[in-house]
Structures are given as C-alpha cells and as structure tokens.
C-alpha cells in the first residue's frame, strides 16, 4: 500500500487470468474510511498499512 496524497492510499493486485493490474484506493478521514473499487487485499499489504 502506498500513500499517494495525505490520507489517500492505493494498492494493486495483478490478475494472472486477465494479465492486468487492478487498483484500489483507501481514503481515511478521522475514524471513518472509504474503500474505492478494492481488488483483493493480501494480508501482507493490509499488515503493512495497519498502524
């Protein structure tokens, strides 16, 4: 997971079947979070984001 702007994060998952990267976005505002078009998230990505 990579922070692209303050409180906005992105990550991608590669689809072997489609040979494409699928991107997801996370916006955090206070105690609320919004996921936008999330592909599957592997545990290692989630754990790298948890604070």
DSSP collapsed to 3 states, the chain: CEEEECCEEEEEEEECCCCEEEEEEEEEECCEEEEECCCCCCHHHHHHHCC
Predicted local distance difference test score (pLDDT) of residue 15: 87
HSE value, Cβ hemisphere, 13 Å, CA-based, for 13: 14
pLDDT: which is higher, 50 or 11: 11
pLDDT class for 49, splitting at 50, 70, 90? low
Predicted local distance difference test score (pLDDT) of residue 42: 62
Tell me if the pTM is above 0.75: no
| Inter-residue contact 26 to 34 (CB < 8 Å) | yes
């Amino acid at each position: 997971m990579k922070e692209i702007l303050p409180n906005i994060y992105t990550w991608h998952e590669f689809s072997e079947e489609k040979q494409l990267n699928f991107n997801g976005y996370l916006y955090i505002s206070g105690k609320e979070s919004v996921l936008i078009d999330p592909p599957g998230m592997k545990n290692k990505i989630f754990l790298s984001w948890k604070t």
